[in-house]
Structure 1
């Protein structure tokens, strides 16, 4: 199913005049909505994008095109009239719509007004019976229906394909081959456009996901009832006769260079535009709608320029392309008399902006909230930017996000930190994206539990809107609470929060297996894991301290990995200073990497003991000399002692009988380095 729905609002004083303020376009399982009606949150969003066959293009912040898979497209032009957000909607059908369309456009090609029940009505000045017959029930209202109903819409049939004729390389005539796919759109446009980002399509799903993981999702939408809207209105009379209205419309149209340039384009009838202009003036007794008829004719002109291949190759007397000549003198809204049209682009006067120069840059954009679909929350699992929603965001390089970072300690108060201005990524007039700036992490005695940004917006980088808060959290272990209407944050049971990360209870530190999360003991620091000799030998903790550490001295790493036995190590160096340096490096590494302290040492040079901190015992060992009988006796006493200790530890009573442990193993002891 392909469908276009519009929502109307009173738009001119107390008269019975209604304008379009919202539109919804559906193609099978895709639904795109623009809703700028009063009392509603402004919405530019894919409410559903199951089939991915709707293509939305942005011409500028005021003009958008929505392409359907048949080649039909809808063009919307946004306006501000007497403080009311309105839009003009043009539907440009394709050959696929002939004799198949219905609704306010009636059956294409029939030239009749056909009601929903199939009966026809005469083409009178106010065909209310025809119009009201096509009112939409609440259950079918694409702008108002709930999210679950939208996502359950029937998608395109799996066997349905969209095809277009292939063309020769570098352009050329179609050949007898077709390219077919489920996502093929037919788009022809002489104007450069930008694709509307579809990331908002998934916002509703993200909100539901957060609702499942968090206890409280706040409503952070702020409505600005006293906001001042800007519009370029041109009321000149209170009552108009038909002749007066026609004379005005003809003169008004001929003042437009773009209008006059389009008069020679095939299938563009200026009489229709003038007739529409006259009808609008007679209905409202106002000239404010005259621009709608003029811009509608220009839109039809551009449609013909895009789709008429023959005319695209036509040149004028000067040899230049007729299409390029028309585009070069045609500007949106004729720049609203606040700028100059140059090569198809408005060069706005000082303090004015937008593609048609209709917005005063001294008035900041209106901000209704940040990440409205998730209540101003940003889950670190899938969030790297802030989506700011409001109104009158202009697509220009001076569109600026002023972002002040803040941190909130656990059960503490907000601490505001540095402020950075970041260029915004314009999505539509109602929503922009602020990418997170990079910043240096600072160590604090009061570590952060929640972080976020206070964000304000500006169109000119000088005058900013009111600020709004966005909180960054990890819903894995962090939770939200409603405390007297204010949002507060807590840690979920079964988790520690260490160095800004969620750690499940019982999880070991990846860089030190001696550290473990014990949330009942310490929520924000690693707890020490007591080794069980039956399951984890002590040397595992020691070795873990030097593994995967690029900054670890290679000598320390080799000593701990190869020369530590249980919890005792042995090494030797040629000089006292080298041995001392090695001992100090090892002690420092073990403390920094695993909070393990080297507390006892034996050395042949006890004079250096006092230079080693944190030692509980430093004792001098002996050096055996071959000619010293007492030393020999001491050696055998030491041998017997070691044998007994080893017997007790491993249970082997015949180890010493199988080992050739002789004194002559120490011959030449003077040439051996000290231990």
Structure 2
């Protein structure tokens, strides 16, 4: 690991001045007049908010290092202000993450901190720090190394906060699904599905159920097919769908773990010369005009 990659864009002067301001008792927070602040209400007082913010920072494994490296008072004040305006503690974690970020930048940019704290080298302190600065402490579902979480089995995301048991939400299929074209039965078609909570797991899969056309209406055949899905983003995946002539209908759902699948959407492959299909109504009608 090259230490220069951490420090190339960081100026140490600002961090040194911050430490000097802390020692001088100067508060960096912007002045806010009393009439700009709401009154304390609900379950918090200024004292209880301060206790919560300070205890949250003190609980960090980085406290001993960071309390020396940076001025924590502005972060505490920002935390208190967030509680005051929101009347909730849901933003406290953001103050903890800010605390970790500012500490990381300070230590990376100021080699004297390592010697002041008794570390053998700046490099060793940075390495140790980066084993503790992962986002949300990997949600207690992974290990932190070099500022990156390695999640335990069944959990994903930069902070290991997402479980593969989360069921995706399907909203739409790409417009090309409803486009009209003839497709030979020996081919499959890649279909893009959009929604939420898709995860790039080894178990991400497409669940298809074949439909049968009877009297111009599609009915379930209870014939199912499960295949691997291609992850694009947390909001889009690609499923490969078999095609046949003159047409084939499928319901498509997606699962992150191969078991728990989303609600389904209808996909119809049609021979446009002979049929016009409406997936929203699950029907296909013979296009008589083609033969006039």
Q: Aligning the two structures, in what range does the TM-score lie when normalised by the shorter sequence?
A: 0.5 to 0.7
Equivalent residue, structure 1, for 2:170: 367
How many residues are paired up?
247
Alignment deviations for residues 553-595 of structure 1 (CA, whole Å, 9 cap, x no partner): xxxxxxxxxxxxxxxxxxxxxxxxxxxxxxxxxxxxxxxxxxx
Q: Which residue matches 1:397?
A: 202
Q: What does residue 329 of structure 1 align with?
A: 132
Contact 1:479 1:489 in 2 (8 A): yes
Q: CA offset at residue 422 of structure 1? A: 0.9
| Equivalent position of 2:120 in the other structure | 317
For structure 2, the residue ranges without an aligned partner over 5 or more in a row are 1-27, 183-187
Instruction: Please point out which of 456, 460, 463 is paired with 2:253.
Output: 456
Is this contact kept in 1: 2:142–2:150, CA < 8 A?
A: yes
Counting only pairs closer than 5 Å after superposition, residues 470-619 of structure 1 correspond to structure 2 as 470-473=267-270, 479-480=276-277, 487-491=283-287, 493-494=289-290, 519=291
Question: Among residues 290, 298, 323, which one is paired with 2:92 in the alignment?
Answer: 290
**Higher-Rg member (1/2):** 1
In 1, Cα distance between the equivalents of 2:143 and 2:276? 54
Match of 1:252 in 2: 56
Picking from 181, 190, 199, the partner of 1:385 is 190
Taking the aligned partners of 2:169 and 2:149, their CA distance within structure 1 comes to 25
Length-normalised TM-score, structure 1:
0.31
Q: Deviations over 1:234-273 (max 9, x none)?
A: xxxx6222222222212212323367666677xx653332
**2:76 paired residue number:** 274
Consecutive unaligned residues of structure 1, counting only runs of 5 or more, are 1-110, 114-121, 129-237, 442-446, 495-518, 521-675
TM-score (norm 2): 0.62
How much has 1:427 moved relative to structure 2? 0.2
TM-superposed CA distance for 1:461, in Å, is 1.9
Q: Deviations over 1:517-540 (max 9, x none)?
A: xx45xxxxxxxxxxxxxxxxxxxx
Contact 1:259 1:298 survives alignment (8 Å): no
Q: CA RMSD in A?
A: 4.5
Work out whether residues 193 and 239 of structure 2, in 8 Å CA contact, stay in contact via their aligned partners in 1: no
Q: Assess if the C-alpha contact under 8 Å between 1:331 and 1:356 holds in 2.
A: yes
Report the alpha carbon displacement of residue 291 of structure 1 after superposing the two structures with TM.
0.7
* Distance in structure 2 (CA, Å) of the matches to 1:380 and 1:276: 58
In 1: Cα distance, 2:213 partner to 2:90 partner? 52
Superposition map of 1:129-168 within 5 A: none
The higher-RCO structure (CA 8 Å, 6+ apart) is: 2
The answer for the alignment partner of 1:436 in structure 2 is 240
Deviation at 1:465, TM superposition (A): 2.0
- Distance verdict in 2 for CA 1:414–1:239, change over 3 Å: closer
